[in-house]
Structure 1
Amino acid sequence: MLLLGIVGMARSWLGRAHEVVHGGMALVCGAAALTVLVRLAGDGTDAETLALPVGLPWLRANLRLDALSAVFLLAVNLVGCLAALFGWSYARHEAEPGRVLPFFPLFIAGMNLVLVADDAFVFLMAWEFMSLSSWLLVLASHREEETRRAAYVYLVMASFGTACLLLAFGILAGQAGGYGFEAIRAHPLGAVPASFAALLVLLGAGSKAGLVPLHVWLPLAHPAAPSHVSALMSGVMTKVAIYGLIRVLFDLVGEPLWWWGAVLAVLGAITAVVGVLYALMQDDVKKLLAYSTVENIGVIVIGLGLALVFKASGVPALAALAMTAAMLHVLNHGLFKSILFFGAGAVLTATGERDLDRLGGLIHRMPATALFCLVGAAAISALPPLNGFVAEWMLFQAVLNGPLLEQWELKIGFAVIGALLALSAALAAACFVRFYGIAFLGRPRSPGAGQAREVDAVMLSAIAVPAVLCVVVGVLPKLAIAMIEPANRLTTGEGMFDAGGHGGWVWLAPASAFGNSYSGFMMFMTILILTILAVFMIHRYASNRVRRSIPWACGFTDPAPLGQYSASSFAQPLRRVFGGQIFGAREVVDMPAPGETRPARFTLEMRDPAWDRLFTPVVRLVGWLADRIEGLQFLTIRQYLSLMFFALVVLLVMVAVSQ
């Protein structure tokens, strides 16, 4: 991967560098994904370690591949292979593809290194490497003001996240000072320092994943990058942050406390609902998909929170069920979000448009892209028999078993979380009905949409592969769940079927779900048979006579394409219900008086409250502190010595107290 990055830098003398880099990355990532897949299909429980003589003087670079790393490596390299394949053709349509080439391989290499790191130094170095390379990819179109702002916000949030993780690993190392993960496991912390470490990891990894209210960078940075890079950032970089949460909370920090999981589940539920509501309001296709990633991260974090609660409460079977749902959704989201971002890139290539209200009618001009995007939209909406439904069904099974816990707070809390999860699922379906209906159905709303042509076979193959996998995993989910089982046992102490799960490869019947079962294959066959039967009945008994009539167009006899139902009008009812509190929405209607010839105007203003209620006060505080600290450069020698003496006394007191 590093060699391919060097090739990207040498693009000036290598004329076809984009084909070499993207083609090489497709091969490398494909080989890595296949290797990990073979390992997971086998036993997958043996960990492999490697110590390299580099790094800090007293610490070698320790690498380790275990079952948990393998699951996330599969997600990263599978999506990386598809993104490289899509980019091989997509780069031809980019204005300056050379700005992406040096950093695309380095970005994927950084994510892989995070997943195999076995000490804090390598983990943080790889984390920062991943962040900086993705930041440079966001800056690929740096001439646009919005892109520069997105890159700045992303860099600030990435620095904040790294600082939190640095402090967390400092606490985990403890007085022994062992930064290797094996040393951290051997010296578990007490409840108070462990809770501080868990909080810092939640802030550090949660900001990278996009948890509310630390999500503000994500809908700015992800759309600014090229489409295949956006698929990587949304589809797998956020999952690397999820890996960091799992690695610390389920592996390194020791025995968890149940309230850690409760906090995670509540944050996940809020993130899911807020993310999908924001997605519903977006007219920019890529920004809509970025906010949808926030929603899906919330769903995954709900699963992690429930698993942590069940593990701390001594119910490992239910912990395994919730963890399986979370990790299966990690794999699923990488697949259907790749379809949708690649589809958005194909639409952008064919039409030059990202605004929903300037698309339409693409199902006739881009039928293959429309078909694959329909699969992705149905999967992300959690419709059976596709893969998105399976993970959310399992998550609901875990929520419904919440009343088995002893704490009354959790009994009530699980009911509320279940309601919010159901609300987010319903809103996600509405969001992608809006997305697909406005973009692909109806009539073209702009010349670009009217003149669109299908993209080439390379782009289509990159979209088709995850679409097929969405169907396969949805119809036969136990194939994917079997690969997750070793990671389940590592994190929760039990596999989902260890307590007597049954059903073979057709029925998904986890023992921890107490009798509930689901068969994606039977659902698929039922839908297929009913579809064939409906088509037969229509063709057999319906009239063959052609009937033509003028469609209803609100009284207009010759409706223009712009008179169709728009993305804004679709979202208006939900905006008026939720907009005042969640979006800070303000509608201004300027209606001319009778006799005036000027047009009526409608203005909509929306602002993320996180900016006003969290980030703006923090920026002001940092500015105030900076002004105060600036005065330190004008102190006298005596004042400097006094300040150093005071700092030394404080440090000695801290050391004495910690002994």
Structure 2
Amino acid sequence: MLIAAALSALLALAVLGVAAGAEMWRHRLIYFCCMIASLVLLAGGIKHLGQTPGTGPAIVLPIGLPWLAAHFRLDNLSALFMVVVNLAAAATSAYGIGYCSHLPEPRRVTPFYPLFLFGMNAVLIADDAFMFLVAWEFMSLASWLLVLADHKNAENRHAAFVYLVMACFGTFCLLTCFGLMAGGEGAYSFPAMRAAKLDGVSGFLVVLLALLGAGSKAGLVPLHAWLPLAHPAAPSHVSALMSGVMTKVALYGLIRILFDLHGEVNWAWGAVMMVIGGITAVMGVLYAILQDDLKKLLAYSTVENIGVVMIGLGLAIAFKGSGEKTLAALALVAGLYHIVNHSIFKTLWFLSAGAVITATGERDLGKLGGLAKRMPWNGVAALVGALAIAALPPLNGFVSEWLIFQSLFKGPSLPHWAMKFGVPVVGAMLALAAALAAACFVRAYGIAFLGRPRSQAAAEAHQVPASMRLTVAFLAVMCVVLGAIPVTVTDALSHVVTPLTGVQFAVSADLGWPWLSPVSSTRGSYSGTVLVMTGLGLCAVTLMLARLLGTSRLRRADAWDCGHKEDIPQSQYTGQSFSQPLRRVFCASIFAARESVDMPDPGDNRPAELKVRVIDPIWVGLYATIGRAVDFIADLVNRIQYLTVRRYLLMMFTTLVLMLLVVAVRQNQ
């Protein structure tokens, strides 16, 4: 009942947002109410997480298709994702209380924000294909309007157009996917789909269409084109939801179809998903390293993390299809854990980026610097988030990637040669992506928050409102907590994977709390709790020794500044110089990266300039080609408007003759 009330409240808040007007206190009140509604939904998800399968709350409403009605149900999987969605939604809503006053046109954002939250939650509780797709489109259209909020900017309009095209493509694929599972009887309810049996061709097409439909929304390569365009265009708190949460709703749809509704996916699809995930992870982080726009960098980082999750899901399907249900449960726990972790640390970083843009008006790394001193709350929180994204212990990002590696180590035990040879390759790709992600966020954090200001805007940066500071601090604490008590999280996730894999599984079974021992107590174990306690103890001992053995006298000396006594910000590393070695090693062939130096002639006072040319191979090779083909076909079709009457009559006569021939051939058969 509380969940239904919270969802209804979100619709009411959208109506109030239309009438909010220019008075800022009304916008703040709507964000505050969105936070309360999200907390209620979060509590509902936590309450029903771990329930006995088949006992979750359900409701049938007399809306939707005439012969079907609307079915809603909350099971363990949807309860988990309700926690994921609404924890981030509550944080971004609290952030929006202070952030909304900095939006150029808040009236174009506030009405659609609660609709966006409503759409994502409605997808999670839908129990039939019709309501799932209606809620999916609700989510897509609300987020599209939020991307288009600053409609006067031509880049934003282009981003919204690309996003809308990709959203329509994904919905079309999912519509066809559900149609195949419903069969000729039109059994669109999820229980009927679970009971139905798919033949070989239909089963193949269902998996393919699910990957295309959900993958386009999640950001799998090469369906990721909308992310680096839409995320910078949307307001920062919306970008946090789109990157940290909406992509997880897409993964929820994929898991619901492949592990629940379909249920019998061939192991070979798992191998394909692993390879796609590895390519997505590496390509995403390479894209990110090349970016100077902070929000584009974060968008491409999301692509990388979606690839990491896809590796875990692919492993789970490969293990399940081969009869290794315990290993399938381990891989699925690892993938779900990374979904939880990414929703936290990526929301943290997008909100930190929003604070940086609010304080400086800049999102170009080359115009930032020294912000840790001027924005200490955001500096510390962003550092914690960067360490989490770089998968360093004892933070949460390490635990989930470590579990995925533990699952990969068991992959060669499968009898299929594709897995024996493919798993080491995917493992190497995952390791490379993790290393490059660490380099990427050392670059992002170091250039933006450390050193000296690279522009006047960075030098005059100011603190942001308290709600924005407290939100990022809370998310930073969550990164530590989820890394320090991983067994608590994995035990909760085990309730989710049990009905999906058919096996009871606990990651801490061998050693018990607080140790993770996914393979065995002798071959691999980890405890974030012990690591945190050990680190705190070492810090305490170090401080005590420094106080007892150290001196109270101060020694002052000039800081080393590369031999320059002058305060010249231009002598610092830039984002381009930091990424140059990686760009030369990895991107010369993939992205056709080329460097050229524009050196002025003697006597010319203009500065020398290093120019870097990089192309997006997927956009140039795939999407630009499709665009040209569409334009060519449109030009041909457009000529039909200018034919003479005789040619129109000839076309009609030719069409009639062709149709008569078709009828004659069918009758002879």
TM-score when normalising by structure 2: 0.93
Give the direction of change, closer, same or farther, for the CA distance of 1:169–1:408 in structure 2 (3 Å limit). Answer: same
Corresponding position: 1:379 with 2:385: no
Corresponding position: 1:427 with 2:442: no
Structure 2: distance between partners of 1:545 and 1:287: 47
| Corresponding residue of 1:638 | 653
Give the direction of change, closer, same or farther, for the CA distance of 1:364–1:502 in structure 2 (3 Å limit). Answer: same
**1:269 touches 1:299 (CA, 8 Å); kept in 2?**
yes
CA apart distance, 1:649: 9.3
| Corresponding residue of 2:6 | none
Give the direction of change, closer, same or farther, for the CA distance of 1:240–1:257 in structure 2 (3 Å limit). Answer: same
Paired-residue identity, % = 53
Match of 1:281 among 282, 290, 295: 290
**2:511 touches 2:521 (CA, 8 Å); kept in 1?**
no
Structure 2: distance between partners of 1:83 and 1:203: 29
How many pairs align? 652
| Corresponding residue of 2:108 | 99
Match of 2:367 among 345, 348, 358: 358
CA apart distance, 1:17: 2.3
Q: How does 1:465-476 map to 2 (within 5 A)?
A: 465-476=474-485
CA apart distance, 1:641: 4.2
CA apart distance, 1:610: 0.5
CA apart distance, 1:632: 6.4
Q: How does 1:281-360 map to 2 (within 5 A)?
A: 281-360=290-369
**1:5 touches 1:103 (CA, 8 Å); kept in 2?**
yes
Give the direction of change, closer, same or farther, for the CA distance of 1:641–1:23 in structure 2 (3 Å limit). Answer: farther
**1:587 touches 1:603 (CA, 8 Å); kept in 2?**
yes
SS in 2 for 1:589: strand
Q: How does 1:54-69 map to 2 (within 5 A)?
A: 54-69=63-78
| Corresponding residue of 1:217 | 226
Moved more, 83-92 or 431-440: 431-440
Match of 1:161 among 166, 170, 183: 170
Corresponding position: 1:8 with 2:17: yes
Report the AA paired with residue 653 of structure 2: R
CA apart distance, 1:41: 5.4
Corresponding position: 1:533 with 2:548: no
Please report the RMSD computed on the Cα atoms of aligned residues, expressed in angstroms.
2.2
Report the AA paired with residue 504 of structure 1: G
**2:275 touches 2:311 (CA, 8 Å); kept in 1?**
yes
SS in 1 for 2:265: coil
CA apart distance, 1:545: 4.7
| Corresponding residue of 1:137 | 146
| Corresponding residue of 1:455 | 464
What are the Cα deviations for residues 9-36 of structure 1, in whole angstroms up to 9, with x where unaligned?
Answer: 1122866321121011000001110121
Corresponding position: 1:581 with 2:589: yes
What are the Cα deviations for residues 309-343 of structure 1, in whole angstroms up to 9, with x where unaligned?
Answer: 00001001110111001111111111111111111
Report the AA paired with residue 615 of structure 1: Y
Q: How does 1:200-239 map to 2 (within 5 A)?
A: 200-239=209-248
Give the direction of change, closer, same or farther, for the CA distance of 1:550–1:152 in structure 2 (3 Å limit). Answer: same
Structure 2: distance between partners of 1:100 and 1:648: 55
What are the Cα deviations for residues 230-268 of structure 1, in whole angstroms up to 9, with x where unaligned?
Answer: 110000100011011111111112311011111111000
| Corresponding residue of 1:518 | 526
Structure 1: distance between partners of 2:147 and 2:352: 19
Match of 1:624 among 624, 628, 632: 632
CA apart distance, 1:482: 2.1
| Corresponding residue of 1:442 | 451
CA apart distance, 1:542: 4.8
Q: How does 1:70-219 map to 2 (within 5 A)?
A: 70-219=79-228
Report the AA paired with residue 3 of structure 1: A
| Corresponding residue of 1:270 | 279
Give the direction of change, closer, same or farther, for the CA distance of 1:565–1:348 in structure 2 (3 Å limit). Answer: same
Report the AA paired with residue 349 of structure 1: T
Give the direction of change, closer, same or farther, for the CA distance of 1:22–1:641 in structure 2 (3 Å limit). Answer: farther
What are the Cα deviations for residues 369-395 of structure 1, in whole angstroms up to 9, with x where unaligned?
Answer: 111111111111111111111101100
Structure 1: distance between partners of 2:521 and 2:247: 29
Report the AA paired with residue 618 of structure 1: I
Structure 1 unaligned spans of 5+: none
SS in 1 for 2:517: coil
CA apart distance, 1:352: 1.5
Give the direction of change, closer, same or farther, for the CA distance of 1:505–1:642 in structure 2 (3 Å limit). Answer: farther
CA apart distance, 1:188: 1.6
SS in 1 for 2:49: helix
Structure 2 unaligned spans of 5+: 1-9
Structure 2: distance between partners of 1:419 and 1:632: 54
SS in 2 for 1:444: coil
Give the direction of change, closer, same or farther, for the CA distance of 1:516–1:556 in structure 2 (3 Å limit). Answer: closer
Match of 1:597 among 597, 605, 611: 605
